[in-house]
Amino acid sequence: MSHLDAELQEIRAYYGRTLTGKRDLRTNACCCRESVPTPYQSILSMIDGEILDRFYGCGSPIPPALEGCTVLDLGCGSGRDAYLISALVGPRGKVIGVDMTEEQLQVARRHQHAQALRFGYAWPNTDFRQGFIEDLAALGIADNSIDVVVSNCVINLSPAQPRVFTEIFRVLKPGGELLCADVFADRRLPARLREDPELRAECLGGAMYVEDLRRLLRDTGWPDYRVVSRSRISIGNPTLENRVAPARFWSIKLRAFKLPSLEDICEDYGQAVTYLGTIPDHPQRFALDDHHTFLTGRPMRVCGNTATMVGETRLARHFNVEGDRSCHFGRFDCGCAPEGVESCGCC
Ligand SMILES: C[S@@+](CC[C@H](N)C(=O)[O-])C[C@H]1O[C@@H](n2cnc3c(N)ncnc32)[C@H](O)[C@@H]1O
C-alpha cells in the first residue's frame, strides 16, 4: 500500500466506522456554522434525519441558478448537499455524488427513491458513485461535462490536493463553476500537525495555507477566485486547540469559474453590470462574493473579471453587461473583504 493509500484508508475508516454521527466529532471544524439560506430551509426539512445526522460539512455551498444543471458533489458523504441540490436542479438536471466511504454512501443511497418522491420526481436525479476525488476519470466523469462542482469540507482531507483541483478543472464545462466550503489555515502547518491522524481526520491537519491555495488555483487555471464567506473555526477542544496553537483556522466558501479570459488582477475596461433580479430565490439582490452584492436593477461598475464571471457563465441570462474589453483604463480597485485571513482571491 502506498503512503497516499494509507492516508486515504485512515480517513475512510474515520468517516466509515469511528464516526456514527455528529456527536462523535472531536472538534467543531466539520460542524457547519453557516446555516442553509432561508429559501432552502423548506427543502432541508424534507431531507431524512439519518442523512442530516451524518452531515459533516463546514459550510453551505449551495450554488444559485441551478435549473437543468449537472452538479458534481465531491465527498458527498451521506448526501445532505447532494439532495438539497437535487431539489434545485429539477427533473432535467442531475447530481452526481462521489465519496470513497461505503458507510456514508450506504446512507445516501438508502434514501434515493424516497427523496426523489418527496421532491416530486418520478425517478431519482441523483447518482452516488464510490471512488476517489483525485481520480474522477476512473468514475467515468468526462472532460468538460459538469456545470457546477460543489464540495463541503472534503478537499482538506485529500493527501493530493493539487490533483483534486486539476480533476475539477478537467471535468468542468467552459464557464462552469466550482463552489466549495473548506478549512484553511493562516500559515503552512508543520509536519507534526499535518501528519497527526486525529487532526487530519478532523479536517485541521490538511488545511491549506490560504496563500498556497491562491497559488495552486492560479497554477491550475483559476487566476481569480472569489471568497463568498468565511468564519473563524474555534475548534472547541482545548487539547487540540493547544496542539495546533498558534495557527488559526477558517471555514471559507469560495467560488471559481473556468474561464480562459480571467486575469490575475482586476483590470478596468469601463464595464458595468446590472442584475435583473431573475435568479430563483434572489429577487432583490445577488452576492457573487463578499464584496460584490448586486442590487436588482442598479448598474454597478465592475472589473473585467467580474463582468466575465456574470456575463459568460450560466449567470449571463440574469445580468445585463455593458461594455467589452476593447478599451482599457488601467487597474481596477475592487476592494477586499474587510476582515480575516490575508487572501481574498485576486479581486
Ligand atoms: C467531513 S466529511 C464531509 C461529507 C459531506 N460533504 C458533508 O458535508 O456531510 C468528508 C467526506 O469526504 C470523504 N472523502 C474524504 N477524502 C476523500 C477522497 N480522497 N475521495 C473521496 N471521498 C473522500 C469522506 O469519506 C467523507 O464522507
For 275-296, how does the pLDDT look when each residue is reduced to its tens digit (9 = 90+)?
999 999 999 999 999 999 999 9
Task: Taking residues 214-230, report their average pLDDT.
Answer: 97
pLDDT of res. 340:
47
Q: Same structural domain for residues 273 and 125?
A: no
Q: Same structural domain for residues 319 and 202?
A: no
pLDDT of res. 27:
84
pLDDT score of 191 more than 50: yes
Q: How many CB atoms lie within 10 A of CB 82?
A: 28
Q: Same structural domain for residues 155 and 78?
A: yes
Which residues, 6 or more positions from 238, have their beta carbon under 8 angstroms from its beta carbon? Answer: none
CATH of the domain at 40: 3.40.50.150
CA of 125 relative to ligand 1 center, distance in Å: 21
pLDDT score of 113 more than 90: yes
Residue 290 φ/ψ, nearest 5 degrees: -80, 0
The residue whose CA is least distant from atom 8 of ligand 1 is: 57
pLDDT of res. 80:
97
Q: Which residues pair with 294 in a beta bridge?
A: 286
Question: Can you give the pTM of this predicted structure?
Answer: 0.95
Do 156 and 189 touch, CB atoms closer than 8 A? Answer: no
**In this predicted model, what pLDDT tens digit does every residue of 59-96 receive, in sequence order?**
999 999 999 999 999 999 999 999 999 999 999 999 99
Question: pLDDT-based confidence at 338, cuts 50/70/90?
Answer: very low
pLDDT score of 200 more than 90: yes
CA of 158 relative to ligand 1 center, distance in Å: 9
| DSSP string for residues in 194-256 | HT-HHHHHTTSTTPEEHHHHHHHHHHHT-S--EEEEEEEE----HHHHHHHTT--EEEEEEEE
The residue whose CA is least distant from atom 12 of ligand 1 is: 75
CA distance 143 to 173: 8
CA distance 290 to 253: 10
CA of 183 relative to ligand 1 center, distance in Å: 13
Instruction: Give the residues surrounding ligand 1 with Cβ less than 6 Å away.
Output: 8, 11-12, 15, 30, 55-57, 75-77, 80-81, 99-101, 104, 132-134, 152-154, 157-158, 203
CA distance 151 to 81: 9
The residue whose CA is least distant from atom 14 of ligand 1 is: 75
The residue whose CA is least distant from atom 13 of ligand 1 is: 75
Q: In the listed set 198, 226, 257, which residue is the last one of a domain according to the structure?
A: 257
Q: Same structural domain for residues 223 and 279?
A: no
Question: pLDDT-based confidence at 141, cuts 50/70/90?
Answer: very high
Do 98 and 74 touch, CB atoms closer than 8 A? Answer: yes
The residue whose CA is least distant from atom 20 of ligand 1 is: 132
Return the best residue to mutate from 10, 100, 150 for the ligand 1 pocket (most ligand atoms within 8 A of CB): 100
Do 184 and 215 touch, CB atoms closer than 8 A? Answer: no
Q: Please give the number of the atom of ligand 1 that sits closest to the Cα of 132.
A: 20
Considering only 189-198, 304-313, 337-346, which range has the smallest mean pLDDT?
Answer: 337-346
Give the structural domain span for 287.
265-347
Q: In the listed set 200, 225, 257, which residue is the last one of a domain according to the structure?
A: 257
pLDDT of res. 346:
59
Q: In the listed set 257, 286, 321, which residue is the last one of a domain according to the structure?
A: 257
Q: Same structural domain for residues 165 and 249?
A: yes
Return the best residue to mutate from 2, 5, 15 for the ligand 1 pocket (most ligand atoms within 8 A of CB): 15
Q: Please give the number of the atom of ligand 1 that sits closest to the Cα of 99.
A: 22
Q: Same structural domain for residues 124 and 241?
A: yes
pLDDT score of 337 more than 70: no
Q: Same structural domain for residues 192 and 277?
A: no
Q: 187-191: list long-range contacts, CB under 8 Å, 24+ apart.
A: 187/247, 188/212, 189/244, 189/247
Q: Same structural domain for residues 185 and 247?
A: yes
| DSSP string for residues in 156-192 | GG-TTHHHHHHHHHHHEEEEEEEEEEEEEESSPPPHH
Q: Same structural domain for residues 229 and 200?
A: yes
Task: Taking residues 341-345, report their average pLDDT.
Answer: 50
pLDDT score of 194 more than 90: yes
Q: Same structural domain for residues 240 and 330?
A: no
Question: pLDDT-based confidence at 34, cuts 50/70/90?
Answer: confident
**Tally of structural domains, the chain:** 2
What are the C-alpha distances in Å from 255 to residues 47, 90, 136, 183, 186? 25, 22, 20, 14, 19
Chain-centroid distance, C-alpha 40: 17
Q: Please give the number of the atom of ligand 1 that sits closest to the Cα of 158.
A: 19
Task: Taking residues 215-240, report their average pLDDT.
Answer: 95
**In this predicted model, what pLDDT tens digit does every residue of 325-336 receive, in sequence order?**
999 999 998 875
The residue whose CA is least distant from atom 25 of ligand 1 is: 101
pLDDT of res. 248:
96
Q: Same structural domain for residues 44 and 187?
A: yes
- The C-alpha cell at 331 is 487597474
CA of 131 relative to ligand 1 center, distance in Å: 11
pLDDT of res. 28:
85
CATH of the domain at 328: 3.40.5.100
Task: Taking residues 113-135, report their average pLDDT.
Answer: 97
- The C-alpha cell at 38 is 432561508
CA of 99 relative to ligand 1 center, distance in Å: 6
CA distance 238 to 4: 30
Helices 161-171 and 210-220 pack at an angle, to 10 degrees, of 40
Which three-class secondary structure state does DSSP give residue 141? coil
Of residues 67, 74, 68, 70, the one with CA closest to residue 97:
74
Q: Same structural domain for residues 275 and 308?
A: yes
| DSSP string for residues in 295-347 | EBT--EEE-HHHHHHHHSSTTGGGEEEE--SSS--SB------SSSSS-----
Which residues, 6 or more positions from 92, have their beta carbon under 8 angstroms from its beta carbon? Answer: 67, 68
CA angle 202, 208, 214 (to 5 degrees): 150
